[in-house]
Amino acid sequence: AQKITQTQPGMFVQEKEAVTLDCTYDTSDPSYGLFWYKQPSSGEMIFLIYQGSYDQQNATEGRYSLNFQKARKSANLVISASQLGDSAMYFCAMRGHNFGNEKLTFGTGTRLTIIP
Amino acid sequence: NAGVMQNPRHLVRRRGQEARLRCSPMKGHSHVYWYRQLPEEGLKFMVYLQKENIIDESGMPKERFSAEFPKEGPSILRIQQVVRGDSAAYFCASSQQGMNTEAFFGQGTRLTVV
């Protein structure tokens, strides 16, 4: 079974500061993928970044980077130079790579509020 | 290249009616996943389908809920005899064949049971 834990229900961050959203996971799959999604107040789920468990380097996408520490089973999302438009719910998710275990398992989310 | 398309965006049903939610995956995607999100909660997995096959339905309620992904046409999530507790946002995601690929979500269908 897979499990995602997000321990920060809410965060307030000053605009232009960097922010780290925590995510730890548990799985018995030897190969898996880790995802972050953003859900603004409008409700859609926006894919942000993906990290494969065997990727040697941490994933980066613009202002988003994933701090992947495999031994600690953590996959924290780092947003640099935060903007007001970053205010949203953020979900960490994982998916196994074995047949039949490909569903995404989500954490409970972190509500990020950027303060002007 | 259109994204994952879900319709309707909003659906209102009276208790006891049927709800049909549709999901057209991205072009080239053969895997479809349905998720339910209750207010102020995360997404809960319901069912994973490939064309004409249900791969994993471990998250589907045993009664009233069914899903299909026919050879032609969209995937359908069907809820029979809806109750107030079915009110939620239902999201569909699709991905390409192969595991090291992102799953992209539709905009969701917000079901309200009155």
Average pLDDT value for chain A: 93
Long-range contacts of A39-44 (CB under 8 A, 24+ apart): A39/A88, A39/A89, A39/A90, A39/A91, A39/A109, A40/A87, A40/A88, A40/A89, A41/A88, A43/B89, A43/B107, A43/B108, A43/B110, A44/B105, A44/B107, A44/B108
Is the pLDDT score of A34 beyond 90?
Answer: yes
Q: Over the stretch A86-100, which tens digit does the pLDDT of each residue have?
A: 999 999 999 877 766
Is the pLDDT score of B28 beyond 90?
Answer: no
pLDDT confidence of residue A100: 63
In chain A, whose CA is at the least distance from the CA of B58? A103
Is the pLDDT score of B22 beyond 60?
Answer: yes
Split at pLDDT 50, 70, 90, the class of B100 is low
Split at pLDDT 50, 70, 90, the class of B86 is very high
B110 touching A, CB under 8 A? yes
The mean pLDDT value for A42-52 works out to: 91
From the list B35, B42, B45, which residue is nearest A108 (CB)? B42
Q: Do B42 and A97 touch (CB under 8 A)?
A: no
Contact A19, A13 (CB under 8 A): yes
pLDDT confidence of residue B93: 92
Split at pLDDT 50, 70, 90, the class of B97 is low
Q: Do B45 and A105 touch (CB under 8 A)?
A: yes
CA distance B70 to A47: 26
In angstroms, the separation between the Cα of residue B82 and the nearest Cα of chain A is 22
Write the DSSP assignment of A6-48 as a string of letters: ---SEEEEETTS-EEE--EEE---SSEEEEEEEE-TT---EEE
CA distance A105 to B44: 7
CA distance B61 to B39: 18
**Could you give the percent of chain A with pLDDT greater than 90?**
78
Residues of A in contact with B35 (CB under 8 A): 104, 106
In angstroms, the separation between the Cα of residue B83 and the nearest Cα of chain A is 22
What are the φ and ψ backbone dihedral angles of A38, each rounded to 5 degrees? -115, 135
Q: Over the stretch B30-77, which tens digit does the pLDDT of each residue have?
A: 889 999 999 878 899 999 999 889 989 999 999 999 999 998 999 999
Which of A28-32, A101-105, B23-27 has the lowest average pLDDT?
A101-105
What the block records as the tokens of A79 is: 């947003």
In angstroms, the separation between the Cα of residue A16 and the nearest Cα of chain B is 27
